[in-house]
Amino acid sequence: MVDEQVAGALPGDEHGRPETPAQRSDRNWVELLQELRVMQTGVQILTGFLLTLPFQPRFADLTDYQRTLYLVLVVLAASTTGLAVGPVSMHRALFRRHLKRELVTAADRMTRAALVLLALVVAGTTSLVFDVVVGHGAGLVVGASVIVVLAVLWLVVPVAVRRRG
């Protein structure tokens, strides 16, 4: 039988990391920032793409449904951007206040919410593009398919890995 307690771990630390709660908060903060860097770039590019669409000649040809979907996507993209950048703003507001654990918890929640909105923006934008290029039915099918794929990749796969680990 393998000993589950890793040598050198602090008592009660089931992960085998010999770190204090403050060190754990620091590590979690750094890991969260790395994740946000990856996500922010995609969010900013997608938001920028959406913001340029009204200035394209074919934008006037959109149906009422397509325009409504577009406006919903702009609001979702702006909200996603706000949530993805929110942890940075919180860090500035809480800097040197010794609230790292609280900062990490709040930033984690913002990041999770941003991922949900990002999935909606990605699926909705894909749906809009297919709606304009191929047709309404194709837009709905592709948008729903993208949501399913993202749910599998972002929710189901991590849960499966966690259960195996």
pLDDT given for residue 3 in this prediction: 36
State residue 5's pLDDT score.
38
Helices (H) then strands (E): counts for the chain = 5, 0
CA proximity to 108, closest of 129, 130, 84: 84
Whose tokens are 């950048």? That residue is 85
pLDDT for residue 26: 86
- pLDDT averaged per 10 residues, the chain (length 165): 40 67 88 89 93 95 98 97 92 87 92 96 98 98 98 96 93
**b/e map 93-110, b = 16+ CB within 10 Å:** eeeeeebbeebbeebeeb
The pTM assigned to this predicted structure is: 0.83
Amino acid 73 reads L
In the chain, what are the domain boundaries? Answer: 21-51+63-164
User: Six-digit token pair at 142?
Assistant: 């592709």
